[in-house]
Amino acid sequence: MIFREVEDRDLILKAQRGDVDAYNLLVSRWEKRIFNYLLRLVRNREDALDLCQDVLLKVYQNLRKLEDPARFAPWMYRIAHNEAYSMLRRKKPEDDLETTPLDVPSVGGQMLPVETALAVDAALQRLSEEQREAVVLKVYQGFKFEEMSEILGCPMSTVKSRLYTALDLLKDTLAPAAIPRSKS
Amino acid sequence: MNVTPNVLKDYVFGELNAAEMRAVEAAVAADVSLREELVRLQNTQSALFSLPDEEIPRRIAFVSDKVFEPKWWQVWLNSAPRMGFSAAALLAGAIVFHGFAQPKPMAPAAAFDQAQFERRISDEVAKALPVALENVEKRHRMQLAAAIKEADEKYQQLRREDQLAMAASYSLFTEKQAARLVAFAQNASSGVQ
């Protein structure tokens, strides 16, 4: 991870000096992560791909404004966050007409990996956009609270609150408490 | 350290330092409810990890496309020092051009000399006239020679035709004369008998 950060830093510095190949390599390292982050926010592959393209283009166009290459990831995810929410706001009226999520099966019993994945997907869908994004940034993207605060543009306490609430909801769905057996 | 459910979540997400982690582990070991809560959180996290990342449908390599590279003039315009330099160079060029390209004042026209003009015309005419006369005479001589030659050829031709006609008439006359003599001789011989 340390080596990767060092290499990313070199690539960013080169890209800031106009080295297109360096930026292309940077894109190849980050595009899948950005795509999956966007996909879990907007829940549509085509939209996520379009957004991913837009985000990486904006990153390229504004890379010279990034003063500290060590902050590249939060800075890029901040751009992705803004782009995703901008699109979600535009599409909001249509989405309100969509059907409500299905009932989520519990993961407590024996389930196949595919079923587990479906259950997790459905459980994530039941969260609010803000809660879901907090989970995605923390669980799937591995950001620290400080970085999440930078990406989401809100205080760390708000970030924690969203994440803790989301995790309690997910826990009740995916790992419900065992029902105590009544003594007969 | 008071280990609350939220502290347990921080523990699961690796947000605690080493000392805090040891404190949580000690508290969990001593408290069944905390242990159950921790197991549920870890199961939730495991379930979340079961959701796989999707492969990106197509690679985004737009940066290598030429269309996204800034044009030379964009690079130039985006450079403030270059803009300053180009402005200074333009100004210097304009000054130099102004110095060289200013139109020169026209010289005043010389006084017109009528006598010299007429003399020059006379000289030119005197020089050209003999040549023109020579050309005309030469052309006339050539035309005359051609006409004589053509008339002579025509005369010769007519003469040859007349000779041929006379020869043919004479030949016809001699043949008819011979025929008459033969007829006369035959009549004479038949009268004697």
Q: What is the pLDDT of residues B111-169, one digit of tens each?
A: 678 888 899 999 999 999 999 999 999 999 999 999 999 999 999 999 999 999 899 88
Question: Hey, where are the domains in chain A?
Answer: 1-98, 104-174
Question: Which distant-in-sequence residues (6+ apart) come within 8 Å of A56 by Cβ?
Answer: A27, A30, A31, A34, B60, B62, B63
CATH class for the domain made up of A104-174: mainly alpha
pTM exceeding 0.90: no
Q: Are A161 and A106 in contact (CB under 8 A)?
A: no
Mean pLDDT (chain B, rounded) = 84
Q: What is the pLDDT of residue A48?
A: 93
C-beta atoms of A57 and B62 within 8 A: yes
Q: What is the pLDDT of residue B28?
A: 93
Chain A residue numbers with beta carbons less than 8 Å from the beta carbon of B63 are: 20, 23-24, 27, 56, 60
Residues 65-84 (A) with a CB less than 8 A from some CB of B: none
Which of A27, A163, A175 is the closest to B47 by Cβ? Answer: A175
CATH number of the domain located at residue range(s) A1-98 in this protein: 1.10.1740.10
Using alpha carbons only, give the angle B161, B167, B173 rounded to the nearest 5 degrees. Answer: 135
Choosing among B9, B44, B62, B64, which should be mutated to test the A contact, i.e. which has the most A CBs within 10 A? Answer: B44
Per residue in A96-130, pLDDT (tens digit) is 544 444 444 444 455 566 778 888 989 999 999 99
A104-174 and A1-98 share a CATH fold: no
Question: Hey, where are the domains in chain B?
Answer: 5-50, 118-187
